[in-house]
């Protein structure tokens, strides 16, 4: 890795600021001051800036229990961004992996690894997202089977040229259902349920693929994913 890139990843410096710091002889590699931004550095080398020992910030993978009232946007329009709930270095590199609307809570993944995020969100990978929905009106037992079949065939949504991909609906009670989808269309679960005559009262995402929301996370809290959780995608 180039030294200027390392500095930008390990400090608050931008690449241009890192080059300026090098020109001002503020950086040393293994005890030797250097001004060459193109110097290749490797893990295990001692790199210091203004005497401070640096450590590279690697890829980050976070799980959040998203609360209501925050936006999954880097430029929120009306509500705070989910990133305002996180306090870690280089926050500006992180991006929500997929989105939950302001009125939906639950499992949200956040990362600065774009390729990994694509593996999670691409419809072609058929990664099932599971939601628990509370319905505004009861779904009788005798109707639940026909609604489930409609979900399995795909639902035609207003303004969409193609129906949704096959989805699942499991009735838990008169007013509670589990929904499984492999896409991430705009307000998809809400629109699907509204299309079959059962608008959503509350919506909570419980799982993405093999990863379930950590029950120890309170709304607004997050934690780093474990290696096996990252590898699951």
User: So which residues are the catalytic ones?
Assistant: 101
How far apart are alpha carbons 179 and 210 in whole angstroms?
A: 15
Is residue 74 helix, strand or coil?
coil
Q: Of 127, 128, 97, whose CA–CA distance to 114 is shortest?
A: 97
- Give yes or no for a contact between 130 and 168, defined as CB atoms under 8 angstroms apart: no
How far apart are alpha carbons 210 and 222 in whole angstroms?
A: 18
Taking CA atoms, 53 is separated from 28, 39, 143, 202, in Å, by 10, 17, 65, 48
The angle at the Cα of 17, spanning 7 to 26, to the nearest 5 degrees, equals: 65
Q: Of 89, 111, 110, 112, whose CA–CA distance to 100 is shortest?
A: 110
- Give yes or no for a contact between 135 and 200, defined as CB atoms under 8 angstroms apart: yes
């Amino acid at each position: 890795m180039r030294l200027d890139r390392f500095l930008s990843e390990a400090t608050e410096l931008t690449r241009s600021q890192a080059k300026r710091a090098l020109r001002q002889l503020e950086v040393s590699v293994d005890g030797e001051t250097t001004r060459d931004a193109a110097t290749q550095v490797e893990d295990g080398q001692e790199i210091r800036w203004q005497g401070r020992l640096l450590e590279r910030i690697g890829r980050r993978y976070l799980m959040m229990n998203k609360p209501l009232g925050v936006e999954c946007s880097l430029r929120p329009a009306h509500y705070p961004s989910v990133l305002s709930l996180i306090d870690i270095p280089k926050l500006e590199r992180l991006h929500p992996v997929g989105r939950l609307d302001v009125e939906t809570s639950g499992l949200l993944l956040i990362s600065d690894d774009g390729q990994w995020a694509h593996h999670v969100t691409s419809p072609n990978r058929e990664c099932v997202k599971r939601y628990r929905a509370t319905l505004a009106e009861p779904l009788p037992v005798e109707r639940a089977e026909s609604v489930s079949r409609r979900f399995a065939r795909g639902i035609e949504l207003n303004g969409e040229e193609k129906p949704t991909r096959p989805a699942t609906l499991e009735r838990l009670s008169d007013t509670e259902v589990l929904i499984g989808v492999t896409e991430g269309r705009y307000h998809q679960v809400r629109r699907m349920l509204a299309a079959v005559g059962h608008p959503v009262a509350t919506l909570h995402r419980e799982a993405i693929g093999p990863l379930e929301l950590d029950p120890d996370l309170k709304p607004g809290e997050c934690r780093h994913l474990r290696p096996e959780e990252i590898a699951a995608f």
